[in-house]
Amino acid sequence: MSQLEFQKIAHILTGAANADTVDGRTYVLYTEDSSLISKEWTGKTFTNQTEVVEDGVRPGSTAAYVRGKSIETVIYMDSSSMLHIIDFDEESDEWYEDPKKVIQHKAHPSSHVAACLNGLGHIVVVYHTGRHLVVFALASPTHTTNVPVKCSPDTALYALFVDGVIRIFYISADGCLHYATKSNELDWSDTKWSTQPFNGTVKRFIVNATREGTTTRFEAHVLTDRAKILQVSANGHCSNLGRVDENGTFVSERAVDMCCIEAQENTLTEKRLHDLLAEDPAIINAFGGPLSITPLAAACWSGSVDAVDLLLDNPIRLADPNALSPKNRTPLYYAVRGSIPENRRAIVRALLDAGAKVDACYPEDQNNTPLMTAIADTADKEVIHELVDRGASLTKTNMQGQTAVVLAEGTGLEQELMRSEERELKKAGPHSIQKELVQVLVAIAMLIIAYFNNDVVKDIVEGVLVKCQEALGDDLEEEDDSKDSD
């Protein structure tokens, strides 16, 4: 999950209730003094603030928000903990309380309230009276059912209709997360979910259900009175995600986020890496941090060469140089495209030394290879040289049918696609080749003279060498004259 997704969860958990629309919009209700306010979360910020209830709401209480195809209803508690039902009228664009829907239900002063739609499209409400956990349908508010579970009146609540039954999630007397399921008209079953009691009081939690084949799996996010946000997985394991600060901002405390952040900031040490991996070894190649990418990719993106070296070479656990981040992007992609120029080549070299695939490419980036990216995005000659020297393809095509050679045309980078030995010869010029040839001939001549030890042979060889030197000297003089005339 990304930082923004965790921030959304933090906003929901610190609110009184929430609901999602069919088109994916999220609305969160907040109690402000004795008012109930609705805010729309855009994914980055809040907008469209609306006053749902002007006055009379129990301060600090939770509420229930139910949205359906033709339903938009809020259940809240007033200052005396009486339950109220209000609906949204699309024609008047206002919230109103229908006198015909007044219900005589009084909750415990510390009770929460939750609700959901059942299979018939009716709203089902759950709250605690102080003696019992009670469930009723708004369609027949006088018909209530006591849920036979042991819990405190101040337990956080969540209701969910899934697999044809309603599940009531609550914090049991044992301090663990449970859910009660009504298997038929009379019987309820109780299931312990979390494997350990929570550390502190649970202020609120939300539950998501996902379908995997024929199995429904649940995941919960929990807010405690210590401002901690915890995650309960399908198997009941509870893990710390982070905390909510005084401004309502989510501050991650996940090992993977810490590893990514410190790798990106180039502050990661071997001891710190050891401690983080001891908590969860899988984080070495997991997504995290503000960019939601792997620790190695984060270090490559920021040009943190020390962190790159540590992740690729340590006695604890090595990062995979080909581990993919979202959009199938490799650490080499982030190094070529994002690293600061002064460290870019060193990081690219470290990745290739560790086994990074030099031509790795994916449709998400138009099948552009790292070499193509270097040509098109950064024009970094040193990186281009490194990739070419390490075997980067000059003939592989991207989704537009272009090769690295084609992309380099007209950019001034055409000559940079030569191999190192070709670049050196090009840089030295033709006379350098002639000098090397003369040196080779001299070496051969000395060998011949030493072998034959004959004056005739010696004279012939020396004559050949003199002519070679004269020819080379004439060419050099012509070049100097040409430069002088320019």
Q: Which of 327, 355, 383 is the last residue of a domain?
A: 355
Please give the model's pTM, rounded to 2 decimal places.
0.74
Q: Give the end of a domain, one of 193, 227, 252.
A: 252
Q: What is the pLDDT along the chain (486 residues), one digit of tens a residue?
A: 788 899 999 999 999 999 998 888 899 999 999 999 999 999 889 998 999 999 999 999 999 999 988 899 999 999 999 999 999 998 899 999 988 888 999 999 999 999 999 988 999 999 999 999 999 999 999 999 999 999 999 999 999 999 889 999 999 999 999 999 986 666 889 999 999 999 889 999 999 999 888 899 999 999 999 999 999 999 999 999 999 999 999 999 999 999 999 999 999 999 999 999 998 899 999 999 989 999 999 999 999 999 999 999 999 999 999 999 999 999 999 999 999 999 999 999 999 999 999 999 999 999 999 999 999 999 999 999 999 999 999 999 999 999 999 999 999 999 999 988 887 777 766 555 566 666 666 667 666 665 666 666 666 666 666 666 665 555 545 545 554 555
Dist CA 116 CA 165 (whole Å): 11
Whether residues 51 and 134 share a domain: the answer is yes
Query: Which of 186, 221, 252 is the last residue before a domain boundary?
Result: 252
Q: How many Cα atoms within 13 Å fall on the side-chain side of residue 423? A: 15
**Do 327 and 307 share a domain, yes or no?**
yes
Position 394, amino acid: L
One domain for residues 218 and 112: yes
- Looking at the structure, tell me whether residues 105 and 7 fall in a common domain: yes
Range of the domain at 333: 264-355
Q: Are residues 32 and 176 in the same domain?
A: yes
Q: Is residue 257 part of a domain?
A: no
The domain tally of the chain equals 4
Give the domain CATH number at 412. 1.25.40.20
Write the single-letter amino acid at 434. Answer: Q
